[in-house]
Amino acid sequence: MSKEKMESLEAVCVFIVPLLLAFPSYMLGYLTEVVGNYILYTLYIACSILLTKYNGRSWAEIGLTRHGLPSSLGNSLALVAAFSATRFLGADLKLSTAAQSIEAVAYYLFYWSLSGLGQEILFRGLILFSFNRWKGGNVALLVSTVLFGLIHFTRYSAFGVVLVSALGAFWGWIALKSKNILGPIIAHSLFNFLFAFLLVS
């Protein structure tokens, strides 16, 4: 088995194993959704970085680099701006009542930042670049997008999963072109904070 194939399979295991550990505890009521997500995203970050180092790869090989940052950040934020514009035009958005508390704003800003960081390091970092080395960009983008959609399956409707997957595909495309995931990390965290907490319809 080639090194690239093994690294790709290991990357998928980083996605599956924490889910297999957390999901039963969540379903049985041992973990709340928030605590479960904290554990899941922390495991995604730690395991992605440790596996990258274990395989002798640099952090730049999963997109954690300053190189390509202007393009990565600019395109990622442009995507969030475009989505925001369509949301403002298509829905009656207002400030969440929870956003009136400074403590709640600080808590959810951290929570959604961890979510964006964890998901981007795993899906647009470890998985995308591992499969890109093994099978090329198209397969890498497809695999990372499908797995990214799957993790949102229990949270959103079918349309929501398709929409989130499309966002993930765009962020994956940006990561492949720029070789940088810092832009998607920042944009994903901002997107989550805006539309999963701050603004409601």
Q: List, in order, residues 6 or more apart from 18 with CB less than 8 Å away.
A: 39, 40, 43, 44, 47
pLDDT digits (tens, 9 = 90+) for 8-33: 999 999 999 988 887 777 777 787 87
Q: What is the pLDDT of residue 37?
A: 84
Q: How far apart are CA 76 and CA 170, in angstroms?
A: 8
Distance of CA 29 to the CA centre of its chain: 25
pLDDT at residue 144, as a whole number: 98
**Identity of the amino acid at 50:** L
Burial 46-76 (b: 16+ CB within 10 A, else e): ebbbebbeebebeeebbbbbeebeeebbebb
* pLDDT for the residue numbered 17: 92
Give the total number of structural domains in the chain: 1
Query: pLDDT tens across 109-165, in order?
Result: 888 889 999 999 999 999 999 999 999 999 999 999 999 999 888 777 888 889 899
Nearest to residue 145, comparing CAs of 131, 157, 134, 133? 131
Burial class (CB in 10 A: 0-12, 13-18, 19+), 86: exposed
Domain hosting 124: range is 3-200
Q: What confidence tens digit (pLDDT) does each residue in 57-108 have?
A: 999 999 999 999 999 999 999 999 998 888 888 777 788 888 888 888 888 8
Residue 199, phi then psi, degrees to nearest 5: -115, 135
**Contact present, 165 and 148 (Cβ < 8 Å):** yes
Nearest to 172 by CA among 122, 107, 108, 110: 122
SS3 category, 152: coil
DSSP 199: E
